[in-house]
Structure 1
Amino acid sequence: MPLTFLEEIHPNTYIGLWKIEEEPAVLEKQLQLKDHEKEVLKGLNTQKRNLHWLATRVLLRKMLNTEEYIDCQPDENGKPVLLNMPHHISLSHSYDYAAVIISKDKRVGIDIEIIKDKITRVQQKFMSPQELSFMDEQYAIEHLYVCWCAKEALYKLNGKKETSFKDDIHLEEFPYQTKGVLKGSIHKEPLVKNYKIAYRKFEDYMLGYVYEEDEE
């Protein structure tokens, strides 16, 4: 499971990316799974889903650098949380990659997606007309994936099921580049919170991640 990169993006806040090349049994041996986690694995109906579940947790263990059991379970909204450690976490996966972001003191979100042109068929479901108006025609598919990853990362940071990508998560206009930072916000009356979301393209994938900054 070769490390693609591990980077500190803010004090006590790290992102990690791994390429998945092992069989599920190899990954499972690196974890200390309890019976309830083994039941979750049994419920995953494809080897790829099995690999993704295991790989994100192996990467999480490596980033936490611990030999202790990691009690990672979904909360009432399905967001993965650590019950026996203080860190905030977010997990993602797509095809051959697993991605994790951890922070000791900040809420976080991460998303990784393989880039495919089918995203154009669903763009109106997660993008507002104003957001669609600033898509770069030359790099429309990549630009859409930046927006998707940014909104998914914000959704995961927020951790509330009722949050709508199109109606509640808004992105400011930004030019497409292969790596950059854009501004976004979550609007859930009566609150509006602003964020800076970082992204980067590598190979045929897009990665987006965000952490909650200190109040000014």
Structure 2
Amino acid sequence: MALYKTLIFQQTTKVLIWKIEESISNLREGISLSENSSTRLQSMKSELHQKGFLSIRHLLKEVGYSDFDLMYDEFGKPHLKDGKFISITHSYTFSGIIISEISPVGIDIEKQREKILKIAPKFTPFEEYKTIANADALVRKLTIVWGAKESLYKIYGKKKLLFLHHIFIEDFLFESTKTTGEIRYDGKVSQHAISFLEFEGFTCVFAFSASHSKNQI
């Protein structure tokens, strides 16, 4: 099995990343699925999605949970039965989870692709990044911004948020591996700390509530 990376912050928050190299039959070994999860798995037409779904269950097992400990609310946001906070992501050959004992969290893994250049104006003020002349650097930067906004969207956990109008990411340097973001919606503002890392052409971004993150990131 392929646990790719583990990050631990202040013993209260863990990020685990899995590199999906196994067959579906191998991923089925060593885990148990609830009846609902088995039905969901069988309904997935994409082998890529099936592998992502199963690898997430292996990540849960790595930190002492099983599929039976995971539940979803009416908005599709995952929760753990013991009350800890969790967020889930998978993209192509990588999947990841973040679990925190103290605050809501969000995580997103994205493959770095030039396609993001076409959709960038839909999720961020694109003119802010026109000074980046290097195409690869622009793809990397926009992928981090997208992942950050996706992570904050997952923290909010409800519909109606618009990436362009309600979620804002502070500019950052690649070498800093962190930034901050805000959700501004319905007259309220919430601040969040964001960290990111890049590996094998992928970007992983995860976010915490700012009030609990000063000594974590």
- 1:124-174 superposed Cα distances (whole Å, 9 cap, x missing partner): 1111256x3466332111110010111011111111111111110011222
Q: Which residue in the other structure is 2:53 paired with?
A: 53
* Structure 2 residue 74 is the aligned partner of structure 1 residue 76: yes
CA distance 1:69–1:45, change in 2 (3 Å): closer
CA distance 1:178–1:2, change in 2 (3 Å): farther
* Structure 2 residue 162 is the aligned partner of structure 1 residue 164: yes
Matched residue of 2:165: which SS? coil
Pick the structure with more helix per residue: 2
Which of 142, 145, 152 pairs up with 2:143? Answer: 145
Matched residue of 1:85: which SS? coil
* Structure 2 residue 184 is the aligned partner of structure 1 residue 187: yes
User: Is contact 1:134–1:173 with CA below 8 Å preserved after alignment?
Assistant: no
**RMSD over aligned Cα, in angstroms?**
1.9
Gaps of 5+ in 2: none
CA shift at 1:77, angstroms?
A: 0.9
CA shift at 1:115, angstroms?
A: 0.6
CA distance 1:162–1:23, change in 2 (3 Å): same
Number of residue pairs the alignment of both structures matches: 211
CA distance 1:125–1:69, change in 2 (3 Å): closer
CA shift at 1:86, angstroms?
A: 2.1
Distance in 2 (alpha carbons) for counterparts of 1:119 and 1:142? 9
User: Is contact 1:178–1:200 with CA below 8 Å preserved after alignment?
Assistant: no
Identity of aligned residues (%): 29
Which of 95, 113, 118 pairs up with 1:116? Answer: 113
Matched residue of 1:110: which SS? strand
CA shift at 1:26, angstroms?
A: 2.0
CA shift at 1:119, angstroms?
A: 0.6
Matched residue of 2:16: which SS? strand
* Structure 2 residue 89 is the aligned partner of structure 1 residue 88: no
Matched residue of 1:163: which SS? coil
CA distance 1:24–1:210, change in 2 (3 Å): same
Matched residue of 1:26: which SS? helix
Distance in 1 (alpha carbons) for counterparts of 2:131 and 2:57? 35
CA shift at 1:36, angstroms?
A: 1.4
Per mean C-alpha deviation after superposition, the further-off stretch among 134-143 and 196-205 is: 134-143
CA shift at 1:5, angstroms?
A: 1.2
Distance in 2 (alpha carbons) for counterparts of 1:195 and 1:34? 34
* Structure 2 residue 103 is the aligned partner of structure 1 residue 106: yes
Q: Which residue in the other structure is 1:17 paired with?
A: 17
Distance in 2 (alpha carbons) for counterparts of 1:113 and 1:159? 19
Distance in 1 (alpha carbons) for counterparts of 2:160 and 2:90? 22
CA distance 1:113–1:46, change in 2 (3 Å): same
User: Is contact 1:128–1:167 with CA below 8 Å preserved after alignment?
Assistant: no
Distance in 1 (alpha carbons) for counterparts of 2:28 and 2:45? 16
Distance in 2 (alpha carbons) for counterparts of 1:129 and 1:50? 34
